[in-house]
């Protein structure tokens, strides 16, 4: 819909609000509204209310299909996607009470989402952490720190041959998923503080989640060996260390940008990945190939991290 701008006084411009919308959100003369700038857009919302509180409802029939396929089926992805897209409430109808247990398991990975109401054949999942949704920057920094720690712990365990520690390290990826899902949700609901960078930051967070997946892959692979059953070569451990330093460098650049240092990071990544990684995959023991491939994948993602932010 369009509205014509009206000039009032010397420096004031006004527009009228659609009567149908004002009635829908219970606005009347004298009420205040919240104005939010998002690039060239200006959002108008009732004061004290979110402009995009969304809810949806769906049914689960033939529950046995979901019970046997959990967690790798479309339905659970639907819950996760609804969360990331910014929905605040989901009503889920089902024909088997066992589904409720699986819904509660799934919400453990969705920060702020809880089952707040349940009946014999339905439940309501709702966002109860609206206050936390102002903490995007703190959560993003935590993702970086957790990922650096996860890679560092994996490296130290591999270096010492303590493969029994790998399963515990791998579980950090679940927490990483909760935090990255949460940040993606906030970006979809509110955008980034510099709205022009919303898409780039969203892409960056997706890559951070995928880096955690690669680290988890290393942990799962090495976790199948007994302590000191295999010994990673000095060359592979050095490549592992270089990967960690590359991620730490990007973390530093994100919070204190320096174009010269960014160029150095990209140049180092190009040399290490295109030359050293290929060389190691041809010369190191076959048992180390999985580790090297995962590390090379992480390096490739770090390159795209820098590309997205620049």
Residue 128 and residue 108: Cα distance in Å, rounded?
13
CB burial of residue 54 (10 Å; 0-12, 13-18, 19+): middle
End-to-end CA distance of the chain: 36
- Domains of the chain (ranges; CATH) run 6-46 (2.10.260), 54-131 (3.30.110), 135-309 (1.20.58.220)
Counting Cα atoms < 13 Å in the Cβ hemisphere of 18 gives 9
Neighbours of 7 (CB within 10 A): 9
Q: What is the pLDDT of residue 248?
A: 93
The CB-side HSE value for 302 (13 A sphere, CA atoms) comes to 32
Q: Around Cβ 184, how many Cβ atoms within 10 Å?
A: 21
Backbone φ and ψ of 96, nearest 5°: -145, 120
At residue 59, the 3 state secondary structure works out as strand
The set of residues, in sequence order, having a beta carbon less than 8 Å from that of 183 and lying 6+ positions away, is: 136, 139, 140, 143, 205
Q: Is the bond into 149 cis (omega within 30 degrees of 0)? A: no
pLDDT in tens, 29-68: 888 888 877 667 787 877 754 445 689 998 887 777 767 7
| 53 Cα distance to chain centroid | 20
**For 292, how many CA atoms within 13 A lie in the half-sphere containing its CB?**
25
What residues in the chain have per-residue pLDDT under 70? 38-39, 48-53, 66, 69-75, 130-133, 307-310
Record the tokens describing residue 65, joined without a space.
Answer: 């299909």
| Alpha carbon distance 154, 69 (integer Å) | 31
pTM: 0.79
Place of tokens 């527009």: 15
Alpha-carbon distance of 48 to 25, in angstroms, equals 12
pLDDT, tens digit, 9 for 90 and up, residues 114-126: 898 988 889 999 9
């Amino acid at each position: 819909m369009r509205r014509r701008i009206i000039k009032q006084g010397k420096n004031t411009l006004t527009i009228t609000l659609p009567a149908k919308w004002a009635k829908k959100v219970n606005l009347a003369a004298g009420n205040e509204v919240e104005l939010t700038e998002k690039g060239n857009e200006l959002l108008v919302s009732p004061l004290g209310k979110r402009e995009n509180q969304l809810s949806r409802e769906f049914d689960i029939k033939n529950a046995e299909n979901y019970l046997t396929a959990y967690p790798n089926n479309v339905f659970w992805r639907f819950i996760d996607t609804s969360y990331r897209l910014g929905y605040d409430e989901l009503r889920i109808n089902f024909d088997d009470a066992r589904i409720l247990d699986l819904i509660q398991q799934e919400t453990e990975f969705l920060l702020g989402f809880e089952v707040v109401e349940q009946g014999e054949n339905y439940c309501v999942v709702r966002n109860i952490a609206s206050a936390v949704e102002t903490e995007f920057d703190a959560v993003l920094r935590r993702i970086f720190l957790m990922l650096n720690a996860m890679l560092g712990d994996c490296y130290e365990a591999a270096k010492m041959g303590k493969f029994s520690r790998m399963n515990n390290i791998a579980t950090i990826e679940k927490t990483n998923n909760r935090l990255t899902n949460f940040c993606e949700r906030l970006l979809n609901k509110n955008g980034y503080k510099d709205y022009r960078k919303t898409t780039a930051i969203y892409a960056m967070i997706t890559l951070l989640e995928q880096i955690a997946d690669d680290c988890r892959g290393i942990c799962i692979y090495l976790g199948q060996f007994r302590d000191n059953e295999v010994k990673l070569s000095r060359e592979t451990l050095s490549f592992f260390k270089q990967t960690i330093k590359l991620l730490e460098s990007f973390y530093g650049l994100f919070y204190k940008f320096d174009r010269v240092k960014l160029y150095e990071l990209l140049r180092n990544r190009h040399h290490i990945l295109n030359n050293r990684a290929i060389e190691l995959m041809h010369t190191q023991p076959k048992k180390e190939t999985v580790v090297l491939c995962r590390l090379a994948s992480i390096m490739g993602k770090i390159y795209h991290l820098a590309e997205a932010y620049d």
